[in-house]
Amino acid sequence: MTPGIRPLVAGNWKMNGLKASLAQLTAMASQFDAALARNVDLLVCPPATLVQAAAAAAVGSAIAVGGQDCHANASGAHTGDVSAEMLADAGARFVIVGHSERRADHGETDAVVKAKAEAARRAGLVAVVCVGETRAEREAGKTLAVVRGQLEGSIPAGMTAADLVVAYEPVWAIGTGLTPTAADVAEVHAAIRSDLERILGKTESGKLRILYGGSVKPSNAAELMAIENVDGALVGGASLKAEDFMGIAAAYRG
């Protein structure tokens, strides 16, 4: 929670979801009432195959749709890849870049993530840049240094709060049911805010949404979202079902 920053609860469906899953998105839209929409933005990032249909299903609701990754180039000989322009054309408004699963499974470096964030901006999408330490890095006391390095390497100069969201996702908390303590989350989010101030300047860093991700569920959302400098959530498993996702968003019912 940061005074003056409108929070964002984002769902990352990862490699889950068939056409039938759009019923969950429709249910989310119907539960996203005006009172809740006054307090929070909602975003769902389905697999690329569903972006267009999800965007169509979300028309008329305040739920935004995003991609989970994009290529750095706008088009070309890159079999199997999807560009930011293609996502935008399909109705996406956001794209996640640098998720730890892409950094691990596809060897994406900070430089690659930075190029993808540039591509998002070029295509008019908001880039959701993910950072976070592994368990070994946390145990070695390197969390803040690792996150600082990822931010410095992954965020293009000149990004603004209108085209960038940062997500802190400790790798060891993803899909494990484990979460850092509130004090640990507060420490990392405060450090991210001051790192962003150095990278992007005080004005933009003061407006930027910094999401927490990693085992967020309805039962822990209110506590996590109340932490200073936590401006929303990036939700994996619990974003697949409307009941769970809206249970998390309900942390912002005032």
Task: Assess whether 169 carries a catalytic annotation.
Answer: yes
The number of beta carbons lying within 10 Å of the beta carbon of residue 175 is 13
- Tell me which DSSP letter residue 180 carries: -
- Asked if 237 interacts with ligand 13P (CB under 6 A), we say yes
Pairing relationship of beta strands 94-97 and 63-67 according to DSSP bridges: parallel
Q: Which of residues 174-203 bind ligand 13P (CB under 6 A)?
A: 174-175
- Asked if 17 interacts with ligand 13P (CB under 6 A), we say no
Number of residues that bind ligand 13P (CB under 6 A): 14
Q: Which stretch binds ligand 13P (CB under 6 A): 20-28, 31-39, 81-89, 211-219?
A: 211-219
User: What Å distances lie between residue 108 and 38, 61, 98, 105, 130, CA to CA?
Assistant: 37, 34, 7, 8, 12
Q: Which of residues 26-55 bind ligand 13P (CB under 6 A)?
A: none
Catalytic residue, candidates 99, 108, 118, 133:
99
Task: Assess whether 99 carries a catalytic annotation.
Answer: yes
- Asked if 214 interacts with ligand 13P (CB under 6 A), we say yes
Amino acid at 238: A
Q: Are 102 and 108 contacting, i.e. CB atoms less than 8 angstroms apart?
A: yes
- Asked if 138 interacts with ligand 13P (CB under 6 A), we say no
Beta strands in 99-227 (DSSP E): 126-131, 164-168, 209-213
Amino acid at 175: G
Q: Which stretch binds ligand 13P (CB under 6 A): 21-29, 31-39, 136-144, 232-240?
A: 232-240
Nearer to ligand 13P, 9 or 234 (CB): 234
Q: Are 216 and 238 contacting, i.e. CB atoms less than 8 angstroms apart?
A: yes
Residues with a known catalytic role: 99, 169
The footprint of ligand 13P (CB under 6 A) covers 12, 99, 169, 174-175, 213-216, 234-238
